[in-house]
Amino acid sequence: MRFGEILAARQILAAAVFGFAALPGVNLLHAEEVFRQEDHCLAYRTEKTMFFFVDVEVVGKTCEIKSRVEKEGEQVQFEVSFPIRSLDSGNGFRDGDVAEILSVETHPDLRFVSTSLTLEQVRKVLKQGATELPGVLEFAGQPHPVRFPIELSRQSGAWVVTGKLVTSFTGLGLELPTVAGGVVADARDVLELLVHLRFDQVRGLEALQVVEEAQ
């Protein structure tokens, strides 16, 4: 192949790549924020390489959240779950792959259950405004111990929990998603789990007087 033909082929490939990146559901890196202030939602974020050299950000989000607090004596436990099929990345094929990777047919929900905390520990966290919440992330029938960094703040009169757990696919025992064997798209082994939860939508939280004390 002559030099001119090689150059033309490269130009065509580059145009195809950047055209694909501009399609709906495909966001370049440094996309705008995932959550709005009023959201009670969770999301994942990762990166993939398109055609070996274009970095693209992928975000899947769900607001079909079940969140509750279980209190027994002076001990409390936080639980958050959602149906895996509710994750929406703007690409139905990708969402189907995610559901398959997470064994949705036999384990339809993803769940996080915190370790038990004393009421005094909860008071301390509310006062400090940040902590690493230990617990277990459960999906595909497997438990994964994690420490989830979170921040607590008051926004428009309501307590809001925000956080980001930086982990990896392999660290959670997941296979790396690819398209066409990695020639078209190849996911990087980095995975961020994002939270934006409102206290006024957490069932059972109103029974904790420590929250009222921190108002």
- Map out the domains of the chain with their CATH numbers: 28-213 (2.40.128.110)
Asked whether 139 and 167 are in contact (CB, 8 A), the reply is no
- Report the C-alpha gap between 23 and 57 in whole angstroms: 13
| Pairing mode, strands 185-198 and 178-179 | antiparallel
- Residue listed under structure tokens 């660290």: 171
Q: Give me the sign of the Cα torsion angle 93, 99, 100, 106.
A: negative
pLDDT in tens, the chain (215 residues): 454 443 343 333 333 333 333 333 343 333 348 999 899 999 999 887 655 555 678 899 999 999 999 998 889 999 999 999 999 999 898 899 889 989 999 999 999 999 999 999 999 999 999 999 999 999 999 999 999 999 999 888 889 999 999 999 899 998 776 543 433 456 678 899 999 999 999 999 877 766 555 55
Asked whether 21 and 50 are in contact (CB, 8 A), the reply is yes
